[in-house]
Amino acid sequence: MNTTSNKRLDNSLSNLKGRFFGLVTKQGETINAQLVSCSNEYITVLDRNARVNRKFAKASIGSLSVGGKTLRFK
């Protein structure tokens, strides 16, 4: 993930403020998630349907959907 996409992702995640959002990975997996924590390389989210915490590399995130808006990452 390039620096611009990483900054966009960080800004998007910081504005969530506990809300649920749609997360689509580059592998095609879609989950309904809530942000738990964020580091330089990884994010940890609560998978709302499975009720488990999941850890994803920021580079593996394809898009986020929040409030009817979708942000795509390269």
CATH number at residue 33: 2.30.30.100
Residue 72 lies in a domain: no
Residue 74 lies in a domain: no
Residue 12 lies in a domain: yes
Q: Are residues 18 and 72 in contact, defined by beta-carbon separation less than 8 angstroms?
A: no
Residue 73 lies in a domain: no
pLDDT band at 6 (very low <50, low <70, confident <90, very high): confident
Q: What are phi and psi of 20, to 5 degrees?
A: -80, 150
For residue range 20-71, what is the model confidence (pLDDT) as tens digits? Answer: 999 999 999 999 999 999 999 999 999 999 999 999 999 999 999 998 999 9
Residue 17 lies in a domain: yes
The pair of structure tokens assigned to 57 is 């590399």
Query: What predicted TM-score, i.e. pTM, was given to this entire model?
Result: 0.86
Parent domain of 43 = 3-67
